[in-house]
């Protein structure tokens, strides 16, 4: 079945690209051009890829988040010991 009629990309081709490591519509577009013309297929491609199927994306997201180092909170015991 065609997923992207602008470039004649099928769901099978999207699956093959996914198995080869493409896990976002953008990555599918970079290897097949699907989604780069009218864009009406991007949601279908996203649906085929599913959510959470891209472990690298989670790492990218985590890397982009600001670092929040936990601030050590002294316990009442250590405060009492310091005084
Ligand atoms: S249907 Fe895929 S870009 Fe138009």
Domains of the chain: 1-55 (1.10.10.1100)
Residue 74 has pLDDT above 90, yes or no: no
Mutate to test the pocket of ligand 1, among 1, 2, 7, 11 (most ligand atoms within 8 A of CB): 7
Whole-number pLDDT of residue 82: 52
Give, in order, the Cα–Cα distances in Å from 39 to each of 5, 18, 35, 49.
10, 19, 5, 16
Query: What's the helix, strand, coil split of the chain in %, to 5?
Result: 50, 5, 45
User: pLDDT confidence of 20, banded at 50, 70, 90?
Assistant: very high
| Residue 80 to residue 82: CA distance in whole angstroms | 5
Task: State if residue 40 touches ligand 1 by the CB under 6 angstroms criterion.
Answer: yes
**pLDDT at 81 exceeding the cut of 80:** no
Tell me the mean pLDDT in the region 4-32.
96
* pLDDT given at position 51: 76
Query: What average pLDDT does the structure give for the chain?
Result: 80
């Amino acid at each position: 079945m065609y997923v992207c009629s602008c470039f004649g990309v099928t769901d099978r081709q999207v699956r093959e690209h996914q198995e080869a490591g493409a896990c976002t519509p953008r990555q599918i577009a970079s290897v097949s051009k699907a989604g780069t013309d009218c864009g009406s297929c991007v949601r279908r491609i996203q649906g085929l890829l599913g959510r959470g199927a891209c472990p690298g994306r989670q790492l990218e997201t985590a890397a982009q988040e600001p670092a929040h180092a936990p601030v050590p909170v002294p316990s009442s015991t250590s405060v009492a010991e310091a005084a």
